[in-house]
A and B are shown apart, each in its own frame.
Chain A
Amino acid sequence: MSAHEPLGGRILTKPFLALSALAAIALVILLARFVFGLGAVTHINNGYPWGIWIVIDVMIGTAFGCAGYAIALLVYVLNRGEYHPLVRPAMMAGLFGYTLAGAAVIVDLGRYWQVYTLLLPWYAQFNSVMLEVAWCVMAYIFVLAIEFSPAVLERFGLTDARQKLSKVLFVIIAVGILLPTMHQSSLGTLLVVLGFKLSPLWQTQLLPVLFLVTALLMGFAIVPFEAILAARGFRRPIETRLLGKLSGITALLLAGYLVVRFADLIVRGQLGAAFAANLETGMFWLENALFVLALVLLARPAYRTNPRMMFIAAAVLLVAGSIYRINAYLIGYHPVGGGWNYFPSVTEILVTVGMFSIEILLYLLFVKQLPVLPRAERVTAVQ
């Protein structure tokens, strides 16, 4: 018997309809974007060429999608088999996160009709970090789809195909661990070329390491966050013990991250810059305070059996990682020459909200129709 089952139940619930409305608004605005151009719908300008569609929808969206990466790492590399039931929902979260990030990229590209040039080898500029990110993300979406396909195959009773797939799945899984390692770190390397344009509080050659680790941390945080939400939302038991152990691993990684982050600042002699009084330093301290708070919450053994604390810790960590990305790409970034202003427009914000709504919508749909969540009995058994 399959270890997973569809949740079943009504699809068109109130939350579903509300989210659909938000998604519909976003789609209408996107239509305007394609008819009138980016300037008509966003406040993106040549001082701030990347706005929240890139920074939130893509960078934070893919970091949220690192659930699959984190769990795959745990289960298949660190050999923590007990997390196996969490693999499928994590893969799905990853698939949605990355697919929506991909959609956000297409929407944000100024010349989206030429996006195929990314795949033409004679145009490829191999020194470009962006190329590597694009290729890895495209490949990873593909990989995630394959990694998730067992749920679909199972649903439609295609056991034969499933058997065949299982034989090669280990290669796919390995690739699915390599690819995010490459591109999540490269999302950090993207910032290195900014040089002096990025505040020394964030600009460092360790950017790839910092981005990779925070992505992993966010991946580890999304798992309990989503699991507890789903459990409560669908009135299922919470896999407290499993999630509690995960907290321990997350805490260790988070501690390591904070050490590296601050050691890097001190060695570069830039810690002093954090004591001026302005928006940038305020956001810097907020970012790190949240990381520290998350660590404090995760590190206490008592909290590892406390779903409330686990949820709060996970939420705090997700917010911290998100703020780190917003800081690095928007707050700590200073356009040359000054004078440039950027704050997302209302339509821009509504598109982002709509994108995330679509993600949640799809989650609700899939979780009810496909065998994604682990069977309740299995969950209780493992406790």
Chain B
Amino acid sequence: MALNRRDFLKVAAAAGAAGAVDTAHALQREPKTMPPNAVGMLYDATQCIGCKACVAACKEANHMPPEHDAGKSELMWDVPLDLSGKTLNIIKVYQDGNVAQKDREINGYSFVKRHCLHCVDPSCVSACPVSAMTKDPKTGIVEHHADRCIGCRYCVYACPFAVPKFEYDGPFGQIQKCQFCAHLQAKGQLPACCDVCPTGASLFGLVEDLKKEAHVRLSKKPGESHRFARGKLGGNRPTQDGTIANYQKHLYGDKELGGTQILYLSAVPFEKMGLPTNVPEYGYPAITEGIQHTLYKGMLPPLALLAGLVYLVHRNAGKPDESGETPRKTKVKKEKS
């Protein structure tokens, strides 16, 4: 009997309506885990003074040009408005009311450092058709390879943190994003931003250690003094004695979207700093890949469907007539012309 798609769909509609909620979780693949030697960064917005040394250092380390934004003011030299093809790391400011006090949500201000979060379950890696985005299995660094990128910009479309940026201002653009100074880390050096940060707001280290440090800071009371490491956590750089601020009692990046290797601490709520908070604890690739794996498990369902189709088409098409037409077997009044 012919495969009656109409009826199938009717049933599917009912089933889908009834089971839509359950399907949501059934079609999810297993969450990804952090690699064992995952390196990361702890960015403590309360320690950030907005000096932008990290922006300057990042540009130097990655040979990025300055970004004049003539639209805003022709007098400024390097004033990116956001991450872009020329800016892999940026400091943005949150302002409210009369911006009188740092690290205060109402009538205050805070700085936030934005760049690639090197997710544990990166949407960009899942999206890229040609493996131009890869996640290092040991360090977890998400790297981009321009030598195979086709410029489809699906990674730009997919990233929940709006990180990868394509260079539209020339005929031979490429995707640009923070690579966590993988080229410097390979030489045993620190990422440029963590290296230069004067206060240790950008702190490099193993993600495990950074999470422990973050929880120490969160467990202390505001006003308590704390020895803040600078450069690398557990390194031998001089520390600085500061005071614990009134943190939001949450480590951002610990669980969001399956976890990220760049973690954030802040006194101002994270969504006000532009970091999405209405996100699940699994990465979105878990769902897309769940759908894809279910539908295309080892290519068996498509091949099975193909087999069925071949059978049906062959049956319905019959033998070709002398004109080469592929007739069909159902009744049709063939009038001799």
- A contacts B: CB pair < 8 Å: yes
Q: Does A286 contact B (CB under 8 A)?
A: no
Q: Does A194 contact B (CB under 8 A)?
A: yes
Q: Does B98 contact A (CB under 8 A)?
A: no
Nearest CB of chain B from residue A229's CB, rounded to whole Å: 25
User: In whole angstroms, what is the CA distance A34 to B327 when docked?
Assistant: 47
User: What 1/0 mask marks residues of chain A from 36 to 57 whose CB sits below 8 Å from any chain B CB?
Assistant: 1111101011110110000000
Contact check, A76 vs B316: say whether CB atoms are below 8 A apart: yes
A:116-167 near B, CB below 8 Å: 117-118, 120, 123-125, 127-132, 134, 150, 153-154, 159, 162-163, 165-167
Contact check, B326 vs A3: say whether CB atoms are below 8 A apart: no
Given the complex, which residues of A lie within 8 Å of B279, measured CB to CB?
Answer: 195-196
User: In whole angstroms, what is the CA distance A190 to B324 when docked?
Assistant: 40
Q: Does B198 contact A (CB under 8 A)?
A: no
Q: Does B77 contact A (CB under 8 A)?
A: no
Q: Does A29 contact B (CB under 8 A)?
A: no
CB<8 Å pairs between A and B, sample of 16: A3-B325, A37-B171, A44-B168, A46-B83, A81-B332, A110-B168, A114-B151, A127-B126, A131-B129, A134-B129, A185-B295, A193-B126, A205-B291, A252-B6, A253-B6, A377-B337
The secondary-structure label for the interface of chain A is helix
User: In whole angstroms, what is the CA distance A76 to B312 when docked?
Assistant: 7
Q: Does A213 contact B (CB under 8 A)?
A: yes
Contact check, A46 vs B84: say whether CB atoms are below 8 A apart: yes
Contact check, A263 vs B316: say whether CB atoms are below 8 A apart: no
Beyond the given A81-B328, A264-B17, please list 18 additional residue pairs across the A-B interface where CB-CB is below 8 A.
A34-B171, A46-B82, A76-B312, A82-B330, A109-B152, A111-B151, A112-B151, A117-B149, A120-B130, A123-B148, A124-B129, A127-B288, A130-B127, A130-B129, A132-B292, A166-B326, A204-B20, A267-B18
Identify the stretch in B60-68, B159-167, B181-189, B259-267 within 8 Å (CB) of chain A at 4 or more residues: B159-167
Contact check, B313 vs A170: say whether CB atoms are below 8 A apart: yes
Contact of A336 among B161, B316, B335 (CB under 8 A): B161
Nearest-neighbor residue (CB-CB) of A105 within chain B:
B152
Contact check, B284 vs A170: say whether CB atoms are below 8 A apart: no
Given the complex, which residues of B lie within 8 Å of A115, measured CB to CB?
Answer: 150
Q: Does A209 contact B (CB under 8 A)?
A: yes
Given the complex, which residues of B lie within 8 Å of A267, measured CB to CB?
Answer: 17-18, 20-21
Given the complex, which residues of A lie within 8 Å of B173, measured CB to CB?
Answer: 37-38, 110-111
Given the complex, which residues of A lie within 8 Å of B20, measured CB to CB?
Answer: 204-206, 263-264, 267-268
Q: Assuming A111-B151, A259-B17, is B295 touching A167 (CB within 8 A)? A: no
Contact of A173 among B4, B149, B150, B317 (CB under 8 A): B317
Nearest-neighbor residue (CB-CB) of A33 within chain B:
B171
Contact check, A129 vs B165: say whether CB atoms are below 8 A apart: no
